[in-house]
Amino acid sequence: MEEPPFAVVLTGAGDRRTDVVQVLRSVTGLSAWHSARLCAAVPVPVVGDTWFEAAAGAAARLRAAGAEADVVCGWCARTVPPDGRPLDPRPCAACAWSASGCPASRS
């Protein structure tokens, strides 16, 4: 069964901007200058179309650095709760597949 792509959206840079820039550099491969510009442009997608585990890991690293980051489902644009709770099992509005194929919908 096909799984949806996920994106990471930086929604806040927090007070530890230098730490966030370093994590952004690591996660995206961008320069410090480009990473700092992303911090100034929130909300902004920083990782796109990747598998759930990679998106959740990148968002967790950004949160640990003091940023606010969301993991967003590419099928239905719902935000995955940061505490690890699964998405509600309603079907994705943007696709023909069931929510059971989405790792964010599983407990």
Q: Where are the domains of the chain?
A: 6-105
Q: How many CB atoms lie within 10 A of CB 34?
A: 13
- Tell me the β-bridge partners of 79: 72
* pTM (predicted TM-score): 0.83
pLDDT tens digits, 22-65: 999 999 999 999 999 999 999 999 999 999 999 999 999 999 99
Confidence bin at 98 (pLDDT 50/70/90): low
Q: At 9, which helix (H) or strand (E)? A: strand 6-12
Residue 107: its pLDDT value, please? 45
Q: Quote the CA–CA distance of 52 and 73 in Å, as a whole number.
A: 8
Q: Does domain 6-105 have CATH number 3.20.20.70?
A: no
